[in-house]
């Protein structure tokens, strides 16, 4: 696939204090694995930093969107008071929720990763478990300590879902999260942790490709989920090119 025809995949960024050589400054940053997975799947990654006004016009130039992992969504966004263990990024909420709402409305291919799945849920009228250790019966979904180390557990997938097409009836995924979907809103759960039935994946039933996963596929060996997103985005890019060609000839 040539660079001219590669679909443009926007990836939302973290906002963190970052060291550049000898000084620290606030920066829009993203784990490199996201860009590698998109490029490997045939897409062209485009970083999308959060804008306080949403910055939704950026979607006009994109063929697909990934909402990356990171901080918790502000509980006020779904009508709850914050749990003491919640850590939020109001700027990311302000920037990402409008992007997701428009992507869901317009059919732009969309993938939510961990926090991204939770943003999709809140944008769809759903609610979250704010701190899984407080949920009776919930299993081990994250590790604890100063270094991020993934846990692992199996997930079963709904018959007829996109994720079942990609992974089969069940797959082992990595896990690092203290929140989860409690009420999916207008989304449909399509994946569940086999040990505690916690929702691990959601899809939008009336959208060409809108998938949220609670795990981190950017750090897994399989590229299937990113490939599926890029395939859907390629169709969007071709449709745009065909429309532009049509109007150029009339």
Q: What is the pLDDT of residues 165-180, one digit of tens each?
A: 999 999 999 999 999 9
**Confidence at 38, pLDDT banded by 50, 70, 90:** very high
* Interval 12-27: pLDDT, tens: 999 999 999 889 999 9
CA–CA separation, 204 and 104 (whole Å)? 8
CA–CA separation, 135 and 130 (whole Å)? 9
Structure tokens at 224: 């299937």
According to the model, what pLDDT value does residue 89 have?
97
* C-alpha torsion 73→74→76→81, nearest 10: 110
Q: Where are the domains of the chain?
A: 8-249
List residues with catalytic annotation.
114, 216, 218
Nearest to 30 by CA among 45, 44, 42: 45
- Tally Cβ neighbours within 10 Å of residue 14: 19
Question: Is pLDDT at 246 greater than 60 in this prediction?
Answer: no
* Interval 64-89: pLDDT, tens: 999 999 999 999 999 999 999 999 99
Question: Is pLDDT at 247 greater than 80 in this prediction?
Answer: no
**What is the β-pairing status of strands 151-157 and 170-175?**
antiparallel
Contacts of 53 (CB under 8 A, 6+ apart): 94
Summarize the confidence of residues 146-157 as an average pLDDT. Answer: 88
pTM of the predicted model over 0.85: yes
According to the model, what pLDDT value does residue 4 have?
55
CA distances for 37 relative to 32, 44, 161, angstroms: 9, 10, 22
Pick the CATH number of 8-249 from 3.40.50.880, 3.40.50.720, 3.40.50.300, 3.20.20.100: 3.40.50.880
């Amino acid at each position: 696939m040539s660079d001219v025809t590669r679909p443009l995949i926007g990836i939302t960024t973290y906002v963190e204090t970052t060291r550049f050589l000898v000084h620290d400054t606030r920066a829009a940053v993203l784990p490199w694995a996201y860009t590698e997975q998109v490029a490997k799947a045939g897409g062209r990654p485009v970083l999308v930093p959060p804008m306080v006004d949403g910055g939704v016009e950026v979607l006009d130039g994109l063929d697909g969107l990934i909402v990356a992992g990171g901080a918790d969504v502000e509980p006020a966004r779904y009508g709850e008071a914050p749990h003491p263990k919640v850590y939020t990024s109001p700027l990311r909420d302000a920037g990402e929720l409008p992007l997701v709402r428009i992507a869901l409305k317009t059919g732009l291919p969309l993938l939510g990763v961990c926090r991204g799945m939770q943003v999709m849920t809140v944008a769809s009228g759903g609610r979250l478990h704010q701190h899984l250790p407080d949920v009776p019966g919930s299993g081990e979904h994250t590790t604890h300590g100063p270094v991020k180390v993934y846990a692992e557990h199996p997930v079963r997938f709904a018959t007829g879902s996109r994720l079942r097409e990609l992974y089969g009836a069940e797959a082992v995924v990595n896990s690092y999260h203290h929140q989860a979907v409690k009420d999916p809103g207008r989304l449909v759960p399509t994946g569940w942790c086999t040990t505690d039935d916690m929702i691990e994946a959601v899809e939008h039933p009336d959208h060409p490709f809108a998938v949220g996963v609670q795990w981190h596929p950017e750090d897994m060996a399989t590229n299937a989920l990113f490939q599926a997103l890029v395939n859907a985005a390629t169709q969007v890019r071709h449709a745009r090119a065909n429309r532009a060609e049509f109007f150029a000839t009339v």
